[in-house]
Structure 1
Amino acid sequence: MAHPALDIVALAPMRHQSERAPGKNYRDFGGLPLYHHIVRALLACGRIRKIVIDTDSPRIRDDAARHFPDVVCIERPAELCGGEVPMNRILLHDVELFPADYYLQTHSTNPLLTPETIARAVDAFAAALPEHDSLFSVTAMQTRLWDAAGRPLNHDPQVLLRTQDLPPVYEENSNLYLFSAASLKRHGNRIGERPLLFPVPPQEAMDIDEEFDFQLAELVYRAKKLQKDAS
């Protein structure tokens, strides 16, 4: 069921090639192609009217047609292909094709993100309107950070608080974004002027960029599956 207050289309861009982890979007991850995990989470979250996969991959389009007949797959235009194309340009193209009140953008490289967390993000955004014009997910960090010149960023070395007592700082983790077409077009960015930061539990927030990320995320996935099967 879609969210009763918000009309939301989910956008899931997926490239065929990946330089740092070849073929990652359709590689086996826990017994399924990697991208299946985020599509299943979006289908199960109960907050999305339509899911759109934007891809240059014939393999993903063919596989999605077999396994996810209710998901729309579109072929990415040639001028938007390539790793150097900014994601915001791709999103600007996609929102023109699928009108909606709001868009939720995520990635196939977030296989640990759960339907419950996606639903909580949408509900938090709906409750925060109109004070906030967008949402992006973050991972809270409580650790001592330094800049390249050796200057402390978030702590006083003379005080040396315990790390759990440090004020949190937040890493943009690329798990999910919520925005309107108007905000995207106005700023040329999926993050608007007044974004709501939405913390995602670290055990869900892993984003697969490199081969090591893939291996580590799969270990976490299998451990969670074993724990669930044993309960």
Structure 2
Amino acid sequence: MSIIAVIPSRYASTRLPGKPLVDICGKPMVQHVYERVRQVELFDEVLVATDDERIMNAVSSFGGKACMTSADCPSGSDRLIEVAKAHPADIYVNVQGDEPLVEPSAIEKLARAMLEDSALQMGTLCYPITVEQAQNPNLVKVVRAYNGNALYFSRSPIPFPRSGGIAPSYYGHLGMYAYRHDFLMNFGSLPYSPLENTEKLEQLRVLQAGIAIRVLEVEAMGPGVDTPEDLEEVRRILGKKGE
């Protein structure tokens, strides 16, 4: 069974222009992500999916492989579908290009779950968070059934402790996804989702269509890079590690 890792990497960023190419301890950010993904031995291929020649050239310069996608892709799944049409595989794992501290063990856990259970159409990750973190609408929360499948994703703190106090646990959603090929190719044909439109969360389109999403728990990782402040924090962490 073939499996490809895809790292979407767009040049445009409102808060941090040219984000994939920012220098972190002597390497562009996209290289840090690529090298961590390459540590997972399950992948037949690792591809950076980009819409910019500068990123293509940077990836080539460090020996990686990149492919061009349209600059007009409305979502991450649309970009991944473009890649899938040109690079056939049974399973695709989508690792965000602004996560230079992503743990290879977490990527492997998601990939292995898809390889070992042919019934899974889509999978993702979660990690324990604090009560304070649960209040942040920019951090997506998830609640799961006993079998590990998602019950709901929300920007609100879920579950809500109706009788006061705090919930027994909160889990943040880590935006790494795995898709089986046939499911991915049909993703765009799923019906309009009012829940997705309300929360601005694409995965709710899948849940509202009645399709299961397996959510695996992993340990919390370091911050992704969305702002200049995030960038400095990641530089500090990787600098201490000598990476």
TM-score range, shorter chain: 0.7 to 0.9
Inter-partner Cα distance in structure 2 for 1:136 and 1:8: 15
Unaligned runs of 5+ in 2: 138-155, 191-201
Alpha carbons 1:133, 1:179 under 8 Å: kept: yes
2:178 maps to what in 1? 178
Instruction: Indicate if the aligned counterparts of 1:173 and 1:207 stay in contact, CA closer than 8 A.
Output: no
Q: 1:147 to 1:34 in 2, by over 3 A?
A: closer
* Deviation sequence 1:26-62 (CA, Å, 0-9, x none): 1111221101111111212101111122212222211
Give matches, 1:185-200, under 5 Å: 185-188=185-188, 192=206, 193-200=211-218
* Bigger radius of gyration among the two: 1
Partner of 1:216: 233
1:146 shift after superposition: 6.0
Alpha-carbon distance in 1 for matches of 2:103, 2:157: 35
Counterpart of 1:61? Answer: 56
Q: Is the 8 A contact 2:5 2:47 kept in 1?
A: yes
Give the corresponding residue for 2:30: 35
Shift of 1:198: 2.1
Asked if the contact 2:103–2:221 (Cα under 8 Å) also holds between the matched residues in 1, the reply is no
TM-score by length of 1: 0.77
Instruction: Describe the shift of the 1:142–1:127 C-alpha distance in structure 2 as closer, same or farther (beyond 3 A).
Output: farther
189-198 vs 214-223, which deviates more? 189-198
Q: How many residues align?
A: 206
State the one-letter code of the partner of 1:218.
Answer: R
Whole-angstrom CA distance in 1 between matches of 2:27 and 2:182? 36
Letter in 1 for 2:34: V
CA shift in 2, pair 1:96/1:31, >3 Å: same
The percent of aligned pairs where both chains have the same amino acid is 18
Q: Is the 8 A contact 2:69 2:82 kept in 1?
A: no
User: Which segments of structure 1 move beyond 4 Å, counting only runs of 4 or more?
Assistant: 144-148, 189-192
